[in-house]
Amino acid sequence: MRIDIQEQQPVAILKDTGLLNLDGKVFTRNTTSYKEILPVFVVAKGYAPEAVKQYKKNKDILQKDGLQVRIYYYDERKSQSIRLTNGIELVLGRKDVEDRLQKFVKAYDAYLKHDKAIKKIDLRYTNGLAVSRMKTMAQVRKTSGRFETNSKRVI
**Is the per-residue pLDDT at 153 higher than 60?**
no
**Spatial distance between the Cα atoms of 152 and 117, rounded to a whole number of angstroms:** 12
pLDDT of residue 92: 97
Say if residues 53 and 43 touch (Cβ distance below 8 Å). Answer: no
pLDDT at 47 over 60: yes
Residue 148 has pLDDT above 80, yes or no: no
Dihedral sign for Cα atoms in the order 136, 137, 139, 144: positive
128-137 pLDDT, tens digit each: 999 999 876 5
Domain ranges in the chain are: 42-154
Percentage of residues in the chain having pLDDT higher than 90: 61
- Asked if 44 and 74 touch (Cβ cutoff 8 Å), the reply is yes
- Per-residue model confidence (pLDDT) at position 136: 63
Q: Maximum CA pair distance of the chain?
A: 71
Strand extents, DSSP E, the chain: 12-14, 18-20, 26-28, 40-43, 69-74, 80-84, 89-93, 118-122, 129-134, 142-143, 146-147, 149-154
- In the predicted model, what is the mean pLDDT of the chain? 86
Query: Candidates 3.30.450.40, 2.60.120.560, 3.40.140.10, 3.40.50.11690; correct CATH number of 42-154?
Result: 3.40.50.11690
Return the CA Rg of the chain.
Answer: 18
- Is the whole model's pTM more than 0.85, yes or no? no
61-89 mean pLDDT: 95
Q: Stretch 99-110: mean pLDDT, rounded?
A: 95
Q: Which residues of 51-72 are buried (b: 16+ CB within 10 A; e: fewer)?
A: bbebbeebbebbeeeebebebb
Does residue 149 surpass a pLDDT of 90? no
> Could you tell me which residue, 85 or 135, shows the higher pLDDT?
85
